[in-house]
Structure 1
Amino acid sequence: MIADLTRQLQDAAKKMMKGEVKTTLPFDPFAVAQATSEFALGLAMKPTDLMQVQLAAAQQWGAFWTGALAGKETEKPRDRRFGAPEWQDDAYYRGIRDAYLLASKQLREIVSLGEGSQSGTAMVSFLLDQYLNAISPANFAATNPEVVKRTKETGGANLVQGFAHLIEDISSGKGIVQRRTDPTAFEKGKTIAATPGEVVYENDLFQLIQYTPTTDKVAAEPLLYVPPLVNRYYMIDLVPRQSLVKWLVDEGRTVFVVSWVNPTEAHKDKGVGDYVLDGIVEAVGQVRQRTGASPDLFAFCLGGTLVAIALAWLAAKKRADEVNSATLIGSLVDFADMRDWSAFVHEGHLAALEDHLESQGFIDSLELQRLFAAMRANDLIWSSVVNHYLLDRPAPPSDLLYWFEDGARIPSAFLKGYNRDLLLNNRLKEPAGFEVGGVPIDLAAIKTPVLVIALKDDHVSAWEAVYRGARDIGTEFILGGSGHNAGVINPPAANKHGFWTNKAKPADANEWLASATRHEGSWWPTWTKWLDAHGGKRKVPARTIKDGIEPAPGRYAMMK
């Protein structure tokens, strides 16, 4: 074992010595330094507020130690890091846990006193969260009861093997924690993304997949799915029991999906307008040509933002009838409230990212995965650190995490335009503030029936921000349970998460929720009822595929 570790260390060192050092960073460290300096100076100008915080903290710690020494039990927090029974039942571990949570609460309260720009405040909060997540007692061998127990059981072999895993990951050149799920547990086209279908059209931006019908009759209006660029389309076609595509096909729907190409340097000049016109509008035309009907679009995250732009473009061109309806899931059209993501929407970061992009023509999928993982560090980083490096447990198979790690690149021109025009300057909020192909985009001009679905625990597109965008463009609204990805994959058979509906549209999102009706189970059947209500309610013979180019999931979904 020692010899193997020595060899791995030597290999890792050689690879690091030979590796090319990047001269650019996708963020501006000076912007971070400036934000923290401004926060510190601003805090120093509030001595009275700081004194009140210190007095409150002293009282809280006094109450904490009094309760801890008396053996007083505290309420178990809803925190997966502290799920082992020892965290609640053992006074030692309970004390460590509660002290950490109290200190974290107090530090966050101090940060909340700071003043400054939204981006600067978000940067300070982001840095604090990364620090607090990293120092959690759950992340250390001596203060995690599960690790202590396993170390005793294995005689320390778990720690030795975990260190070997660490060296192996470092020597791979991709950094640590690359094993959130078992990468060999699934195979695209066989056990995941496996619903039968054919690629029926392709250009240099996307392949269009049509799925094989399983019913004799189908709804007259076909469905067309538009995914975001950062991940492959098959989040909606995971293992069969979780596949939205399979469920829709079995429900008697003709389903098409856009499978974006994984861009290379050759795509560096492809911008937002190219993806709207040569992507979505072209796909709509192909579906209309193949079915003789205008499709119901549905889209997720960034895909929904692009669909909203496409709808406004079609309306401006007097072609709105080419789309029957649209459903936007977890998608923002108003970027005024970016929450934690505001930390990255800063002039300094955007300029640094643009310099970084010039060297390769795209943002790499690994860089994007690291960013998304940092926003959910406890779930996507530190849980893997504990399981992989301390407990020496194999990564469990997860179809959703397999999809998450199967990332795609984004072209330079697209990211520059999206970051500056939409995220930083929020030009979709302005009538004619954004253009596609010389056509002003006015979301208020959209007359196509639109349903917006938000997810209550969404860490990417805060549901309140999604609600405000839906209200501004006068659409119907549903709030689903769970998070950004898991809330979408909610098959009715699982009977999970629940959802909320409310016909009223008050200005305040929380007011909407307070008067909303909660329903058990999945929003999928409610959505298809909405589709039926906005369709012709006609059934037509199932549309068989006779001219497929290649079987689903197609070459673009397989591209590295």
Structure 2
Amino acid sequence: MGTAILLSSPAALPLLNANWPHWHPTVKATAENLRRDLRQRLGAAGDPSANPPDVPLAAEAFAPFSRAVDREMRRRLDRFLTGLERYRHHPYQRDITDADPVWQEGRARLLEVGTTGRPVLFVPSLVNRGYILDLSWRKSLLRWLAGQGGDAAGGGGIRPFLLEWGYPGPMERRFGLSDVVAGRLVRALEATCARAGGPVTLVGYCMGGLLALGAALRRPDLVSGYVALATPWDFHADDAAAAQRTAALINPFDPVMRLLGELPVDGVQTLFATLDPLLAYKKFSRFASMDMASDEADDFVALEDWLNDGVSLPAAIARECLTGWYGDNTPGRGEWRVADVPVRPADLRCRSLVIVPARDRIVPPASAAALGSLLPGATVWQPALGHIGMVVSGGAKAKVWAPLRDWLLAD
């Protein structure tokens, strides 16, 4: 998508020279100013009659600018493709392995990262692998939390568990969200509590925050606290029209979902790509200038590998999320139901924390903040980080990891 936008530059040049009247409002003023500047620089200086404003510049007069645009387009494409090629051939491989599973059902596994301390169950999104929370030795929120104190008696530290959903198999492809929340997640919660010897804190990341809330409301006896990390709730709070456009994207994929029983990974990635069509171009262009032997380059590859290790979404869940959540805003309107029971944040009785990344481009901050306003007595933080940066960026430890540790350990 980014390449297509760059390659559109030569196609736009004749329109710019011809004073095209149908520019998008966001670029119209820029286009008009550029055309005026070009006419002053390239036209017949000092002779307005030879350069009337509504007549395109002669081809020979406009040619230097066309060549300059072509050179710049090729330079940017070269930098982008260089970064992409360097990523494809970079030697980095994930430098840690998943923790041992202590429970498994179907494709889902419960991983125990720590051995002592207060038990915390982390619930990731269904469309990305959970190891974003355990990305590498330098960028693992879970292992950092597990290393924050503790003793042989199980006190003073944090004992993280991670529910890794896995790739949908034949069983999971028949699931709806009620099967996930009221079934598999609740059973994983029960297994965690049995192993930990008591209630646990539930921490949901992104979509996982909605799932975790649904489970907490179904089994409040098993939950001592609830944390929502960048979790959407009111899907129309920021831009209802944009949310409904996202919902409409399910239509082209419907025949594929009927055939496969799932929204494939490429379909899920397409939904994310529409949020910022130039994101790939920008990040790989930046990668091209990095030292390939640096920690910065390793961190880039680690994150990009995770992003490209996506998970398909069972068809019924894809329809419920896109049509229900994004299209109809069922959570924000109080109409989202799990196993025919409404999911109402106001009914949660345990302590709660809502972390709203102020620079989030995936979950609009207004959408996530809406959940904080509905949870009774919730603490709400708004760190100046992005959706993924809140767990793996250079500022994550100071702005999210350490404060989260302190909140989890507080009485």
Q: Provide the rounded CA distance (Å) in 2 between the counterparts of 1:428 and 1:453.
A: 18
How far off its partner does 1:327 sit?
0.9
Say whether residues 1:330 and 2:230 are aligned partners: yes
Cα distance, 1:232–1:59 mapped onto 2, change above 3 Å: closer
Say whether residues 1:525 and 2:394 are aligned partners: no
Q: Provide the rounded CA distance (Å) in 1 between the counterparts of 2:146 and 2:305.
A: 23
For 1:337-378, what per-residue CA distance to the aligned partner results, in whole angstroms no more than 9, with x for missing partners? 3644442223xx434433331011111112222332342332
Q: Provide the rounded CA distance (Å) in 1 between the counterparts of 2:130 and 2:36.
A: 52
Equivalent residue number for residue 261 of structure 1: 166
Q: Provide the rounded CA distance (Å) in 1 between the counterparts of 2:320 and 2:105.
A: 22
Equivalent residue number for residue 257 of structure 2: 357
2:314 pairs, out of 406, 411, 414, with 411
How far off its partner does 1:183 sit?
6.7
Q: Provide the rounded CA distance (Å) in 1 between the counterparts of 2:40 and 2:320.
A: 55
Say whether residues 1:274 and 2:170 are aligned partners: no
Q: Provide the rounded CA distance (Å) in 2 between the counterparts of 1:227 and 1:461.
A: 14
Report SS of the residue matched to 1:467.
helix
Cα distance, 1:384–1:426 mapped onto 2, change above 3 Å: same
Q: Provide the rounded CA distance (Å) in 2 between the counterparts of 1:408 and 1:476.
A: 32
Q: Provide the rounded CA distance (Å) in 2 between the counterparts of 1:182 and 1:523.
A: 31
Equivalent residue number for residue 368 of structure 2: 466
> Which amino acid letter does the alignment assign opposite residue 131 of structure 2?
Y
How far off its partner does 1:456 sit?
1.7
How far off its partner does 1:304 sit?
0.8
Q: Is the CA contact 1:481–1:497 (under 8 Å) kept in the aligned structure 2?
A: no
> Which amino acid letter does the alignment assign opposite residue 260 of structure 2?
Q
2:302 pairs, out of 376, 379, 399, with 399
Q: Is the CA contact 1:362–1:412 (under 8 Å) kept in the aligned structure 2?
A: yes
For 1:130-154, what per-residue CA distance to the aligned partner results, in whole angstroms no more than 9, with x for missing partners? xxxxxx96xx6x1159569x8xxxx
Q: Provide the rounded CA distance (Å) in 2 between the counterparts of 1:279 and 1:345.
A: 26
Report SS of the residue matched to 1:231.
coil
Equivalent residue number for residue 172 of structure 1: none
Q: Is the CA contact 1:354–1:416 (under 8 Å) kept in the aligned structure 2?
A: no
1:98-137 matches, within 5 Å, as: none
Q: Is the CA contact 2:230–2:355 (under 8 Å) kept in the aligned structure 1?
A: yes
How far off its partner does 1:234 sit?
0.6
Equivalent residue number for residue 114 of structure 1: none
> Which amino acid letter does the alignment assign opposite residue 418 of structure 1?
C
Q: Provide the rounded CA distance (Å) in 1 between the counterparts of 2:205 and 2:268.
A: 17
Cα distance, 1:64–1:411 mapped onto 2, change above 3 Å: same
Q: Provide the rounded CA distance (Å) in 2 between the counterparts of 1:336 and 1:243.
A: 33
Q: Provide the rounded CA distance (Å) in 2 between the counterparts of 1:56 and 1:405.
A: 38
Say whether residues 1:181 and 2:87 are aligned partners: yes
Alignment coverage as a number of residue pairs: 351
Q: Is the CA contact 1:224–1:297 (under 8 Å) kept in the aligned structure 2?
A: yes
2:140 pairs, out of 214, 229, 243, with 243
How far off its partner does 1:528 sit?
1.6
Equivalent residue number for residue 226 of structure 1: 123
Equivalent residue number for residue 207 of structure 1: 109
How far off its partner does 1:481 sit?
2.1
Q: Provide the rounded CA distance (Å) in 2 between the counterparts of 1:67 and 1:488.
A: 50
Q: Provide the rounded CA distance (Å) in 2 between the counterparts of 1:222 and 1:526.
A: 17
How far off its partner does 1:269 sit?
1.5
Q: Is the CA contact 1:205–1:278 (under 8 Å) kept in the aligned structure 2?
A: no
Report SS of the residue matched to 1:377.
coil
Report SS of the residue matched to 1:522.
helix
- After TM superposition, the score normalised by the length of structure 2 is 0.73
> Which amino acid letter does the alignment assign opposite residue 246 of structure 1?
R
How far off its partner does 1:66 sit?
9.6
Say whether residues 1:421 and 2:324 are aligned partners: yes
In structure 1, list runs of 5 or more residues that go unmatched: 1-46, 70-94, 100-135, 151-157, 166-176, 499-520, 536-560
How far off its partner does 1:451 sit?
0.7
Q: Is the CA contact 2:231–2:363 (under 8 Å) kept in the aligned structure 1?
A: yes
> Which amino acid letter does the alignment assign opposite residue 403 of structure 2?
T
Spell out structure 1 runs of 4+ moving beyond 6 A.
Answer: 52-59, 66-69, 385-388
Say whether residues 1:372 and 2:269 are aligned partners: no
Equivalent residue number for residue 444 of structure 1: 346
Identity of aligned residues (%): 21
Q: Is the CA contact 1:338–1:461 (under 8 Å) kept in the aligned structure 2?
A: no
Q: Is the CA contact 2:120–2:200 (under 8 Å) kept in the aligned structure 1?
A: yes
How far off its partner does 1:187 sit?
3.7
- After TM superposition, the score normalised by the length of structure 1 is 0.55
Q: Provide the rounded CA distance (Å) in 2 between the counterparts of 1:67 and 1:448.
A: 67
Q: Provide the rounded CA distance (Å) in 2 between the counterparts of 1:264 and 1:488.
A: 29
- Provide the alpha-carbon RMSD of the alignment: 3.9
Q: Is the CA contact 1:265–1:362 (under 8 Å) kept in the aligned structure 2?
A: no
For 1:32-72, what per-residue CA distance to the aligned partner results, in whole angstroms no more than 9, with x for missing partners? xxxxxxxxxxxxxxx9xx9x999967984588569989xxx
Q: Is the CA contact 1:183–1:402 (under 8 Å) kept in the aligned structure 2?
A: no
Report SS of the residue matched to 1:258.
strand
Cα distance, 1:323–1:55 mapped onto 2, change above 3 Å: closer
For 1:393-438, what per-residue CA distance to the aligned partner results, in whole angstroms no more than 9, with x for missing partners? 989542111111111111111111222222222222344x233223
How far off its partner does 1:244 sit?
0.6
Cα distance, 1:448–1:61 mapped onto 2, change above 3 Å: same
Report SS of the residue matched to 1:464.
helix
> Which amino acid letter does the alignment assign opposite residue 372 of structure 1?
F
Q: Provide the rounded CA distance (Å) in 2 between the counterparts of 1:379 and 1:334.
A: 25
